[in-house]
Chain A
Amino acid sequence: MNVAVSSQQIKRANRLEATKLNNRMVTDYWEDLFRAKDEGRFVCWYEGVAINPILQAAGVAWCHGEAMSALLAARKEEGPAQQAAEEWGYDRELCSYARTHIGCGVLTQRSTPDTVNDLPKDSEVRKGLASRVPAPDMIISAYPFCSTGQQWDDMLYRQFGKRVPIFNISLPWIWGNKPSAKYMSGPEYREAVAFLVKQLRECIAFIESVTGKAFDHDRLREIMGYIRHAAEIKVEAMRLCKARPSPASFFEWTNSIAPVNFLPGGPEIVNYFEIKKAEIQDRINKGIGSAPTEKYRLFWDGIMNWNKIGWLADKFAGYDACIVAGRYTHMGFWHETEVIDLSDPLDGMAQNYLTCPISISAPQVVEKILEHCEYYELDGLILHGARTCRAFSYPQFLIAEAVGKKLGMPVAMFEGDMVDESFYKDELVNSRVEAMLEAIEARRTRLM
């Protein structure tokens, strides 16, 4: 008899009320972006790390490619953009974030006669959210580690006929050639930070050249003040989830990426995390968990499957499991707040960019995941191999080996994708997760 899942039933995860506020803020942000051109604002498309505070300080509206793709997937509107990219010629094994965002680029080019012939004939694909993204006035590429990210921006630059100025920020990958190289320390790390800061200063000069306006450094300090404060509260709230049952899950933290990734830095994001933290504390006081019943506490490695956030939250709740933490949510997005010096925030910003979960190589990734698994007292680990995100997926065999050897934790590996639903196979996920829960049960029995 299958011990772990013998009593599985359909359950609904307990959603945090704060999520509704987050969703309103996200909607407001996108509506504001869609109006940007009408209001005479410059628009920047960018991918990778969160350079939006710099754009905000410059008075430029911004569209983060991954965020746009994730939004489309979460709202089931990714189809037209992905279809446009596929009809243009992109293979579906190519990064689905890139395909979706470049598809938006194809759809927004209606005003460029020389490229009209490349547009899909079917007018239906020109409708919907994807086609509302305003065309860029500048492109900034700031991709950590992943060469695909930089090439994605290069393709956008070419897609727009090289008429949109582009600025490339090259983020060094933190490898660690010498034993002295540790997380956030050592000569190699400091050299990388210095190089990145230099490029950020050049990037500011680039933005000034496009907008024709002097950059407001005081405004950047102010914005980073809000972001740092919001991120501090976020980390405090995350760490409260050490409680049993965990009051919030990885899925609710994925919903909270927007305020610390691309929403404007201001009192609203601080307020949001204060509300969220208070709700989490209230749940702890009342003994309410994210999963109605919490028998298993898990870690999620890999990018979120944006098409299926709520659906997966309920699936794991049905297994009496709570995914308490994740690499994507807990190891990035202004996670190292203490290094952000508001008198000169670029150094601290660079350090956060260079310690995001794909900027650091496998040994440091593994070390950080082990820390999280121990802190949150987790039982097992989910490895979501996002098929078209090689950058995030590659260290997963090393992670599986490490948590197994060092913590004795069982794992479940399965393929999916961040915004291309066709790579997800539900029955395969069920069998892998159920096998892992069985292994957790067997381990508990052995340890009794």
Chain B
Amino acid sequence: MDEALQQMLTAARQPNVYARGWKVRSGRKVVGSFPMHFPAEVIHAAGATPVVLQEDDEPITVGHAGMYPFFCGYTRSVVDQAAKGDFDYLDAIMFGDHCVQILSAADVIRHRIPDKHVGFYQLIPSLRDRWSLENSMQALRRLIDGIEETLGVTITEDDLRASIRAFNENRQLIRHLYGLRRTGKLRLRASQMQAIIKSSMVMDKAEHNALLRHITEALGDEAEISGRGLPVYLSGHLCQAAKPAVLDMIESCGTIVVDDDLYHGYRYISMDMEAQGDPVKAIASWYLNRNFAAPCPTRLDPGIDWDGWLLNAVKASGAQGMIVLMAKFCEPHYFYYPRIRKTFERNDVPHLLIETEHEMLGLENIRTKVETFVEVARRRSAPQRSAPHAMA
């Protein structure tokens, strides 16, 4: 297990290095995409390796000449990486999102790396209109055409179904780990769980599935792990991975992360696609319905309340409080956060907001807040429930 996890940690720590190396090793093409809802299965079905482009840890330098500082850390970082040539290994970039900041970054990147094809196939942000399914399917067909033309390949329905199965297996294996962690049968630090998912976004799916199988087979029937620590739920970060140091700090304050709705977390693996029948319709349906599995504040879905969903998710996980990780300048999160705060206050569920930035945070400053939050949550939740210690 340790060796498999280490491989994932390595890929997660340096995704461009991994993808560049994979391209050399496999001889396959590599196509980048942006968060949050892009169906990478389509790239995979073309015989290429899809990679979700990641925020990196490097300070933004030349990227300042492309984006204002009042854009989120993710978008500033990917523009910076593009300007520095870090994406030179990519054969193309394909995306279909809706967030104004991602679209803006993509337009700047298109200009900065004119030799790469940057294709945009917008998925309708309004999920429940009568035409949402039809329009999503049209966008997907255009995406398939675009990939075929760009990569010089043909994508069959069987190719798509095979890729859907590979991705489904990946999601199911990770969800299995989530289930074990939720029930206290698996010790995984939040930063380790994040690395598993982040590596899934950048690694070859067959390779990642093999590593996941190795991990799950090594687990066996583990008994519930006893120990103390405040079980907490993490929410937010819709595009970028949280800095591992932040996650480790949170757990070093006496908490155990038992569940989350992070993009580099449960949100990414929340739902499978239908592997039978028309694959285009299956992908479109997945896109339109995954909001039921993990609501996204960037989509329009009048019947879904992220705040109410979160409250239920926190209760179901056994967490005794929620920590919200909000990326600075993330407007979808800014819009929704007041509703989340009010809902949690009304229901007397402790929660803490941590605003994060690309530039390193004052970690000790945040630690004080988390420690206070832990004290408050413990007093409110007496008699205290038990949960396992974080993995050392």
Contact = CB atoms under 8 A, between A and B. Distances in A.
B35 interface: no
A151 B111 contact: no
Interface stretch (A119-127, A244-252, A384-392, A431-439): A384-392
Contacts of A173: 103, 120, 122
B70 A93 contact: yes
B72 to A, nearest CB: 9
Listed residue (B99, B100, B142) with the most chain A CB atoms within 10 angstroms of its CB: B100
Contacts of A396: 68
Interface in B62-76: 65-68, 70-71
B338 A90 contact: yes
Interface in B294-322: 297-298, 300, 302, 305
Interface in A22-80: none
A90 B342 CA distance: 12
A19 interface: no
A314 B105 CA distance: 35
Contacts of B338: 88-90
A162 B308 CA distance: 14
Given A151-B335, A172-B122, A394-B67, A198 B131 contact: yes
A394 B111 contact: no
A157 interface: yes
B224 interface: no
Interface in A164-218: 166, 168, 170, 172-173, 175, 177, 191, 195, 198-199, 202
B135 A195 contact: yes
B85 interface: no
B150 to A, nearest CB: 9
Contacts, number: 125
A141 B300 CA distance: 11
Interface stretch (A142-150, A219-227, A234-242, A328-336): A142-150
A20 interface: no
A415 B124 CA distance: 32
Interface stretch (B227-235, B324-332, B362-370): B324-332
A398 B302 contact: no
A231 interface: no
Interface in B98-142: 98-101, 103-105, 107-108, 110-111, 119-122, 124-126, 129-131, 135, 138, 142
A395 B70 contact: no
A155 interface: yes
A152 interface: yes
B135 A147 contact: no
Interface residues of B, number: 48
Contacts of A195: 135
B109 to A, nearest CB: 11
B38 to A, nearest CB: 15
B290 interface: no
A89 B124 contact: no
Interface in B194-235: none
A93 B108 contact: no
Given A162-B302, A390-B71, A93 B107 contact: no
A361 B298 contact: no
A94 B334 contact: yes
A118 B339 CA distance: 11
A324 interface: no
A152 B124 CA distance: 17
Contacts of B331: 94-95, 147-148, 151, 390
A254 interface: no
B120 A395 contact: no
Nearest to A149: B100
B378 interface: no
B177 to A, nearest CB: 32
Contacts of B138: 191
Contacts of A154: 300, 302, 335
Listed residue (A170, A395, A396) with the most chain B CB atoms within 10 angstroms of its CB: A170
Contact of A93 (B103, B122, B328, B332): B328
Interface string A369-408: 0000000000000000101101101111110000000000
Contacts of B135: 170, 195
A420 to B, nearest CB: 12
B146 interface: yes
B107 A151 contact: no
A203 B65 CA distance: 41
A93 B334 contact: yes
Contact of B298 (A145, A151, A362, A385): A151
A158 B339 contact: yes
Contact of B104 (A152, A202, A390): A390
A91 interface: yes
B334 A91 contact: yes
B107 A362 contact: yes
B151 to A, nearest CB: 14
Given A385-B68, A393-B68, A170 B100 contact: no
Contacts of A118: 342
Contact of A168 (B66, B100, B104, B129): B129
Contacts of B334: 90-91, 93-94
Nearest to A393: B68
Given A90-B338, A173-B103, A362-B108, 14 more contacts: A91-B334, A148-B331, A150-B300, A151-B297, A170-B124, A170-B125, A170-B135, A173-B122, A394-B68, A394-B101, A394-B108, A397-B66, A397-B108, A415-B68
What 10 pairs across the A-B complex have the smallest Cβ distances?
A89-B338, A394-B104, A175-B120, A168-B126, A94-B334, A362-B107, A91-B334, A147-B100, A146-B100, A148-B331
Interface of A: 88-91, 93-95, 98, 118, 141, 145-148, 150-152, 154-155, 157-158, 162, 166, 168, 170, 172-173, 175, 177, 191, 195, 198-199, 202, 361-363, 385, 387-388, 390-391, 393-398, 415
25 contacts: A89-B337, A90-B335, A91-B334, A93-B334, A118-B342, A141-B300, A145-B103, A147-B99, A147-B332, A148-B335, A151-B297, A151-B298, A151-B331, A151-B332, A362-B108, A362-B110, A385-B68, A385-B70, A387-B70, A390-B70, A390-B101, A394-B67, A394-B68, A396-B68, A398-B111
